[in-house]
Amino acid sequence: QKEVEQNSGPLSVPEGAIASLNCTYSDRGSQSFFWYRQYSGKSPELIMFIYSNGDKEDGRFTAQLNKASQYVSLLIRDSQPSDSATYLCAVSGESGGGADGLTFGKGTHLIIQP
């Protein structure tokens, strides 16, 4: 059974600082890794996805993947109060992000302090 682990938080970060969110996964065959942001009472919104080892940057967001350590992270630079949300790490299996469905971590609650 696939497991995805995240620290539930809350993680409190001052406005303008870098927020660092971490995730580990159990299935070494996992191929695709996704970060979703979910505001309270809303549906998950895709922020980043990464498939290869290394870093992937998109605006203020950087996803990092280390398959040897089974570790994926999300960095948010210049954190804004609007970044306050729950961040869900999701993983899909050997056939990719399509037919397998996603296995989610429990999410990290991020609070950006003005």
Partner 1 sequence: DTEVTQTPKHLVMGMTNKKSLKCEQHMGHRAMYWYKQKAKKPPELMFVYSYEKLSINESVPSRFSPECPNSSLLNLHLHALQPEDSALYLCASSLLTGTNQPQHFGDGTRLSIL
| Closest approach of partner 1 to the CB of residue 14, in Å | 25
| DSSP 3-state of 32 | strand
Backbone dihedral angles phi then psi of residue 19, each to the nearest 5 degrees: -100, 130
Nearer to partner 1, 24 or 103 (CB): 103
| Closest approach of partner 1 to the CB of residue 85, in Å | 14
Question: Tokens 């309270």, residue?
Answer: 40
Please tell me the distance from the alpha carbon of residue 26 to that of residue 24, in angstroms, as a whole number.
7
Nearer to partner 1, 16 or 101 (CB): 101
| Closest approach of partner 1 to the CB of residue 99, in Å | 4
Nearer to partner 1, 32 or 79 (CB): 32
| Binding footprint of partner 1 on the chain (CB under 8 A) | 31-32, 34, 36, 42-46, 49, 51, 88, 92, 95-107
| Closest approach of partner 1 to the CB of residue 18, in Å | 24
Nearest to 63 by CA among 82, 38, 91: 91
Please tell me the distance from the alpha carbon of residue 114 to that of residue 99, in angstroms, as a whole number.
41
**Token digits of residue 96:** 């990719």
**Token digits of residue 1:** 């059974």
Nearer to partner 1, 13 or 37 (CB): 37
